[in-house]
Amino acid sequence: MKAFMVEKYGDPATVRAGDAPEPQVGAEDVLVRIDAASVNPLDYKIRKGELKAIVPYRLPLVLGNDFAGTVVRVGSSVTRFSAGDEVYARPDKDRIGTFAERIAVHQNDLALKPATLTTTEAASLPLVALTAWQALVERANVQPGQKVLIHAGAGGLGSIAIQLAKSLGAHVAATASTAKVGLVKELGADEVIDYRTQDFSEVLHGYDVVLDSLGGETLDKSLRVLKPGGQVISVAGPPDPATGVELGANAVMRLGVAVLSAKVRRQAKSLGVTYSFLFMKASGDQLRELTALIDAGQIRPVVDRVFPFDETLQAMEYVEKGRAKAGKVVVSRT
Q: Is 90 helix (H, G, I), strand (E, B) or coil?
A: coil
Per-residue model confidence as pLDDT tens digits over 53-81 = 778 899 999 999 999 999 999 999 999 99
Closest CA to 206 of 241, 173, 238, 255: 173
Mean pLDDT value of segment 276-298: 97
Mean pLDDT value of segment 135-160: 98
Q: Is 203 helix (H, G, I), strand (E, B) or coil?
A: helix
- pLDDT-derived band at 305, boundaries 50, 70, 90: very high
Q: Check residue 242 and give its pLDDT.
A: 81
- Cβ proximity of 228 and 270 under 8 Å: no
Yes or no: domain 2-124+301-332 corresponds to CATH 3.40.605.10: no
Mean pLDDT value of segment 211-218: 97
Mean pLDDT value of segment 309-330: 96
The mean of the pLDDT values for the chain is 95
Q: In whole angstroms, what is the distance from residue 51 CA to residue 45 CA?
A: 7
Q: Check residue 133 and give its pLDDT.
A: 98
- Residues with Cβ within 8 Å of 34's Cβ and at least 6 positions away in sequence, in order, are 67, 68, 69, 98, 100, 101, 102, 103, 333
What are the structural domain ranges in the chain?
Answer: 2-124+301-332, 127-277
Q: In whole angstroms, what is the distance from residue 266 CA to residue 303 CA?
A: 38
Q: Check residue 243 and give its pLDDT.
A: 79
**Above 90 in pLDDT, residue 259?**
no
Hey, do 2-124+301-332 and 127-277 end up sharing a CATH topology, with the first three levels equal?
no
Single-letter amino acid, residue 209: V
**Above 80 in pLDDT, residue 246?**
no
Q: In whole angstroms, what is the distance from residue 331 CA to residue 334 CA?
A: 9
Per-residue model confidence as pLDDT tens digits over 85-105 = 999 999 999 999 999 999 999
**Above 90 in pLDDT, residue 282?**
yes
More confident site: 252 or 288: 288
Q: Check residue 20 and give its pLDDT.
A: 96
Q: Check residue 256 and give its pLDDT.
A: 75
**Above 80 in pLDDT, residue 255?**
no
* CATH label, 127-277, candidates 3.30.43.10, 3.40.50.720, 3.90.1150.10, 3.20.20.20: 3.40.50.720
**Above 90 in pLDDT, residue 258?**
no
Mean pLDDT value of segment 266-270: 97
pTM score, whole prediction: 0.96
Percentage of the chain with pLDDT > 90? 91
Q: In whole angstroms, what is the distance from residue 284 CA to residue 262 CA?
A: 33
